[in-house]
Structure formats: structure tokens, C-alpha cells
């Protein structure tokens, strides 16, 4: 049989592999579509939650700003009774739609020195409400206070409240070998930071306390005389045309006022730019403050005027971000009398000059960064008396301590 060449043949038809591949691709596409949808939805939800959290946090920040504004106002308010009231303000540009509304109330606290502060902070469409109970204490309630160490000499007699973060009582020179003579040291009310025990530990052997010592859980802080606060007082003085350039206070009191301080109107205060000197034998009437952005120096007697109908209401405050200094220029044997409340939270209240044998009589109270220093100059009798009218009549525009005793976040609302 002859050889016949074989020609390969191809049979055309469907292969099942292609159909399976197409189906697999459709399933993969469907799966990817579903996954993209799920992930997108999750991302949208996450973005919405993140936006809500950011909005809530921002609204809380706005509310906190309103609370700090309220605390600043309360620290500057020194009226005898705080009236209920409200105020509002905005943060940043208007287009940010951020503002807070603050309400102040004493009617529901049962204590005129405790204020309920309610703040609604709004950021765009989210409002956060917070509440705080704030306890107020006027700085004029202290006969002597310092944020540092308070050293109290043996035989000191103090009516009123005394505070020192650290309190050290001076002992009688012969104590403890001898018997401390009268008069023993006497204090009405004493407060100190509980982390600093009163020294010496046996102080009760020679100190009489009318009340048990008050122990503060944290060291007390007093309102700062910073640029913002000085600006507040300066603005009030400008309304009364009572801003005095540094170095001109003494001449103004002596030549313009005739040595007799009377309160300007409408605000009873003088603002001194820089250092200011008060000449000897200056008297004052009614209530007024001298606020300075430098050191205030008292050159001699500074007393309330007694020959006016309202002399019993005469109170003087010396406020500064530096020091208040007694630098008497009279004969060293002459006595010096100063009637004033001294507020120097960043500085000291002290005497400077050559030693004097004349007595020092101080009536009023003081708050300073450090304890007072008078014994190096006034080496004779020194008498310190608290002016109780600082607690009853009150000295207008003296600052308050404002302490938050309760704080809570009430609710978040969205529009």
C-alpha cells in the first residue's frame, strides 16, 4: 500500500475552560465592587464620627474659653454682693461661627461667695454645655498673706486671716529653757499648705490660736497683676482722667491735691505708669485705689482723713506688680503710721532706709509674694492691726481669689 502523507486536522468547537474563566472574573469583579462599597461606607462613617469628635472637642474648647473669661471677670469683681448676670463673646473671625454664652448665678448656691457658672460653647452646629461652681474670696479678707514663707515674730498680735504656704513662728529668745512671757503670739485664723507643717512643731506652747489652723490641699495662688490686669485698671483710670505719668505722683498729690487724696469719678482709682512716691503726711478720704506698674514708695505718714462725714468708710488700696516700700524721711525717732491695704503678689512689702527708733503702726492688710520685712529699719515698737472694714465695708475693685470647687460637662447638642 502506497505511503499516503498524513495531514493534521483541527476540530473547532467551544472549550469549557473559557467559560469558567469568565465566570470567575465576574465573581471577582462583584466581590471587589462589594468590598469597595463596604470600605467606602466605613470610611464615610469614620469620617462622620471623626468630624463629630472634632466638632465636640472644638465646642468644648470654646466653652472652656468662656469659663476662663468668667473666672477673669470674677477675679476683678469686688462688690459686696455679686448680682446674677450673663455675657457672651466670640472666638476668632465671625465666619468660624464660634461663640460662648455665660450665665453667672448665686441664687441657687445658698452661699453669696459661691457662684454657679454655666457656659454654652458653640462651634458651628455643635454646642457643649459645662457647669462650674466657683468659690470667691476677696483678697481684702487677709490681714497678711504670702504665697511663700510667712515668718511671724514672737509676741505678734494679729486679728483676721493669715496665710502662708509655709508658716514659721519666731520663739522667745530664752525659749525653751525659760518660760515664755506674755504677751504670747496671738492669731485669729491661720491657714497653710498641708504639705508644709507649721514650724516649730511645738508652736502651741507659745502661740494662742482662736481657731484651729486651716490646711489647704494645694498652695493658694492670688490673682496676678499682669499686663492684662494692669490694662484693665488703666482703662478705668482713663475714663476718670486719672492716669499719672511715672515720677509725677508725688507732685500731683502735693501740688494738685494739696496732700489730700480724694477719689476721682466715675472710678475711684489713680493709675501710675511706672514708679510712684506718696509724700509724707498724705491723708485720704472715702475709698480709692492707687495702682502702679512699678514700685510704690510711702515716704511717711499715710492716714485716713477723720474730719469728714464718711471717714469711717475711708479705705485705701495700694496695688502693684512690683513692691510697696515704706521709706520714711522724718526724724528716726518719730513714729510712722500707715493705713492701707497692700497688694503686691509679685513683690514684697518692706521698709528701707537707716534704722529708726520711732514706732511703726500699720493698719490694714497685705498680700505679697514674700513675708514683710520691717524689723531691720523699725527697731522700736511695731504694731500691725487688721482693718476689719476690709471684710465688712469692702474696698471697691480689690481682686478676688476664684477657685473651682466643682466642674462637670453637662451635654452635647447638634443642630
318: left (phi over 0), alpha (psi -120 to 50) or beta: beta
pLDDT of the residue at 393? 80
pLDDT of the residue at 47? 45
How far apart are the C-alpha atoms of 311 and 371, rounded to whole Å?
30
Q: What is the DSSP string of 5-55?
A: -----------HHHHHHHHHHHHHHHHHHHHHHHHHHHHHHHHHHHHHHHH
Q: What is the DSSP letter of 352?
A: -
Q: For the segment 368-409, what is each residue's pLDDT rounded down to a tens digit?
A: 998 888 888 998 888 888 898 888 888 888 999 999 999 998
Reduced to 3 states, what is the DSSP secondary structure of residue 105?
A: strand
pLDDT of the residue at 29? 72
Count the Cβ atoms, other than its own, within 10 Å of residue 156.
20
Q: Domain limits of the chain?
A: 53-136+404-414, 140-401
pLDDT of the residue at 112? 74
Name the phi and psi angles at 322, rounded to 5: -120, -120
Count the Cβ atoms, other than its own, within 10 Å of residue 180.
18
How far apart are the C-alpha atoms of 180 and 176, rounded to whole Å?
8
Closest by CA to 260, choosing from 230, 228, 222, 288, is 288
Q: What is the DSSP letter of 139?
A: G
Cell 520711732, residue located: 358
Which parts of the chain register pLDDT below 50? 1, 7, 9-12, 47-52, 78-81, 95
* Cell numbers representing residue 144 in the block: 497678711
Q: What is the DSSP letter of 312?
A: G
pLDDT of the residue at 174? 60
Cell 473559557, residue located: 18
Q: What is the DSSP letter of 380?
A: S
Amino acid at each position: 500500500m502506497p505511503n499516503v502523507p498524513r495531514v493534521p486536522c483541527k476540530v473547532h468547537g467551544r472549550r469549557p475552560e473559557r467559560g469558567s474563566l469568565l465566570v470567575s472574573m465576574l465573581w471577582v469583579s462583584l466581590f471587589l465592587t462589594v468590598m469597595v462599597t463596604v470600605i467606602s461606607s466605613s470610611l464615610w462613617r469614620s469620617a462622620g464620627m471623626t468630624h463629630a469628635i472634632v466638632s465636640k472637642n472644638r465646642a468644648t474648647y470654646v466653652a472652656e474659653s468662656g469659663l476662663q473669661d468668667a473666672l477673669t471677670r470674677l477675679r476683678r469683681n469686688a462688690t459686696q454682693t455679686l448680682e446674677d448676670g450673663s455675657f457672651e463673646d466670640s472666638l476668632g473671625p465671625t465666619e468660624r461661627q464660634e461663640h460662648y454664652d455665660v450665665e453667672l448665678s448665686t441664687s441657687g448656691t445658698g452661699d453669696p461667695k459661691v457662684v454657679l457658672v454655666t457656659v454654652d460653647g458653640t462651634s458651628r452646629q455643635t454646642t457643649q454645655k459645662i457647669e462650674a461652681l466657683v468659690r470667691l474670696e476677696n483678697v481684702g479678707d487677709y490681714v497678711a498673706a504670702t504665697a511663700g514663707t510667712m515668718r511671724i515674730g514672737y509676741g505678734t498680735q494679729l486679728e483676721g486671716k493669715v496665710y502662708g504656704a509655709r508658716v514659721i513662728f519666731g520663739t522667745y529668745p530664752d525659749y525653751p529653757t525659760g518660760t515664755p512671757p506674755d504677751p504670747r503670739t496671738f492669731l485669729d485664723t491661720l491657714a497653710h499648705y498641708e504639705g508644709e507643717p507649721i514650724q516649730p512643731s511645738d508652736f502651741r506652747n507659745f502661740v494662742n490660736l482662736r481657731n484651729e489652723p486651716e490646711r489647704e490641699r494645694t498652695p493658694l495662688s492670688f490673682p496676678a497683676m499682669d499686663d492684662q490686669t494692669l490694662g484693665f485698671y488703666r482703662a478705668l483710670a482713663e475714663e476718670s482722667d486719672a492716669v499719672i505719668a511715672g515720677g509725677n505722683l508725688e507732685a500731683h498729690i502735693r501740688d494738685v491735691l494739696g496732700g489730700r487724696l480724694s477719689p476721682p469719678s466715675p472710678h475711684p482709682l489713680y493709675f501710675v505708669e511706672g514708679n510712684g512716691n506718696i509724700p509724707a503726711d498724705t491723708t485720704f478720704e472715702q475709698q480709692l485705689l492707687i495702682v502702679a506698674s512699678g514700685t510704690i514708695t510711702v515716704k511717711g505718714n499715710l492716714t485716713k482723713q477723720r474730719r469728714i462725714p464718711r471717714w469711717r468708710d475711708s479705705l485705701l488700696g495700694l496695688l502693684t506688680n512690683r513692691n510697696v516700700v515704706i521709706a520714711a524721711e522724718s526724724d528716726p525717732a518719730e513714729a510712722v503710721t500707715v493705713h492701707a491695704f497692700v497688694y503686691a503678689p509679685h513683690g514684697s512689702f518692706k521698709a528701707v532706709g537707716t534704722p529708726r527708733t520711732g514706732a511703726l503702726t500699720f493698719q490694714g492688710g497685705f498680700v505679697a509674694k514674700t513675708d514683710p520685712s520691717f524689723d531691720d529699719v523699725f527697731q522700736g515698737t511695731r504694731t500691725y492691726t487688721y482693718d476689719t472694714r476690709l471684710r465688712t465695708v469692702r474696698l471697691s475693685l480689690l481682686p478676688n481669689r476664684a477657685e473651682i470647687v466643682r466642674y462637670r460637662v453637662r451635654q452635647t447638642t447638634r443642630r
